[in-house]
Amino acid sequence: MTHEIHHPVRVAIVGVGNVGASFAFSLLNSGLATEIVLIDANTARAEGEAMDLNHAVPLSQSTRIWAGSMADTAGALVTVITAGSAQKPGETRLDLAGRNVNILRALIPDVVKFNPDGIILIAANPVDILTYAAIKISGFPSNQLFGSGTILDTARFRYLLSQHFGVDPRSVHGYIIGEHGDSEVPVWSLANIAGMRLPVFCQQNNLACQDQVLDDIFQQTRDAAYQIIQRKGATYYAIAVGLTKIAEAIIRDQNTVLSVSSLIDDYYGMQDVCFSLPSVVDRGGVERILRLELSERELTGLQNSAAMLKQMNKNLGL
């Protein structure tokens, strides 16, 4: 009789700053991982976070947490890369690109060496550029390496819509696609509550639905990071929960539809660039990208976003 060997569910987090540490905290409380390894160039920081998180274990979920090295990515189901500089006030995500691509050049070859079969999930910004760079550096197939993309923007969008429409954000369905950043696109034509298109919902509930009202909601979505950074210096809780949702889809093989950034191959003629579209995520990573039927305006917006990202990849020599 053959015995199946069960390995512990290991998640590796490379970069344990605001985002990495918040993700570790969220993941610990989710109980999804049996092992969480924290890796940071600042080893004292990683050690401190591991100690603090371990002291929560008796009160939370049974999880082995330690500060490790890149060799500890071995066997991880997913390695999440948050290492990189954060956006500074007034700085766009694209300004960060060169600096953070160089960090990937140092880190990714080690993940490939120690963990050739695990998934790599990029969260550092600019996430679409870094995902593309990491695919090139790793040589991984595109299902196995992807970015958190607009998972956060989509959550912000749903929250802001929920405030206007007076329903639970989890009951509002809508997606932000394209770049995680200034050129992102709201898919208004498919947004809905209980399958009802927003104009119908507005009409029946006596709510304002003019272009200007909706545009304002989108602008708040798109500019949320700038607003938060101005007030508290960085954003991390919502992305941490977003990363936990992605990890959950992978660990539990859920086929969850999430707006994540992956390599696009012939989507309305767009290709060889990474950006976000609703995608089915399972144990193998991005199982497939959904082909939304977009309005003409949404498609033009997406094409602009793709062209901008492609130019950026080119400027960086990727």
Ligand X SMILES: NC(=O)c1ccc[n+]([C@@H]2O[C@H](COP(=O)([O-])OP(=O)(O)OC[C@H]3O[C@@H](n4cnc5c(N)ncnc54)[C@H](O)[C@@H]3O)[C@@H](O)[C@H]2O)c1
Query: Binders of ligand X among 142-171, rule CB under 6 A?
Result: 148, 152
Out of 73, 79, 87, 143, the residue judged to bind ligand X by CB under 6 A: 87
- The angle that helices 151-165 and 198-205 make with each other, rounded to 10 degrees, is 20
Task: Cite the DSSP H helix spans in 198-236.
Answer: 198-205, 211-222, 224-232
Rounded-to-integer distance, Cα 212 and Cα 210, Å: 5
Residue type, 185: V
Tokens 């999930």 — which residue? 121
Residues 6 or more apart in contact with residue 82 via CB below 8 angstroms: 13, 14, 15, 16, 17, 19, 20, 23, 123, 124
**180 tagged catalytic:** yes
Using CB under 6 A as the binding rule, whether residue 207 contacts ligand X is answered as no
Six token digits for residue 116 = 């050739």
Active-site residue, selected from the candidate residues 3, 6, 7, 180:
180
Residue selected from 9, 36, 83, 155 as contacting ligand X according to rule CB under 6 A:
83
Rule CB under 6 A: say whether 17 interacts with ligand X: yes
Residue nearest to ligand X (CB): 17
56 binds ligand X (CB under 6 A): no
Tokens of 89: 């006030």
Give yes or no for residue 247 binding ligand X (CB under 6 A).
no
Site for ligand X contains 227 (CB under 6 A): no
Q: Which of 36, 119, 123, 185 binds ligand X (CB under 6 A)?
A: 123
When asked if residue 82 is in the footprint of ligand X (CB under 6 A), the reply is yes
Size of the site for ligand X (CB under 6 A): 32
For residue 153, how far is the Cα from the chain centroid? 9
Helix pair 296-315, 127-138: axis angle to 10 deg:
60
71 binds ligand X (CB under 6 A): no
In whole angstroms, how close is the CB of 300 to ligand X at the nearest point?
24
Regarding 241 and contact with ligand X (CB under 6 A), the answer is no
125 near ligand X (CB under 6 A) = yes
CA distances from 290 to 28, 46, 167, 283 (A): 31, 37, 26, 17
Report residue 240 CA to chain centroid gap.
Answer: 9
- Does position 239 interact with ligand X (CB under 6 A)? The reply is yes
Q: Which stretch binds ligand X (CB under 6 A): 2-10, 83-91, 199-207, 277-285?
A: 83-91
Q: Which stretch, 188-196, 235-243, 245-253, 264-272, contacts ligand X (CB under 6 A)?
A: 235-243
Going through the chain in order, the beta strands assigned E by DSSP cover 10-14, 35-39, 64-67, 78-81, 119-122, 145-147, 172-173, 176-177, 185-186, 192-193, 196-197, 256-267, 270-282, 285-289
Report the nearest approach of ligand X to the CB of residue 226 (Å). Answer: 12
- CB of residue 233 vs ligand X: minimum separation in angstroms? 8
285 belongs to the binding site for ligand X (CB under 6 A): no
Q: Which residues are known catalytic residues?
A: 180
Q: Binding residues for ligand X, per CB under 6 A?
A: 14-20, 40-42, 45, 82-84, 86-87, 96, 100, 103, 106-107, 123-125, 127, 148, 152, 180, 234-236, 239
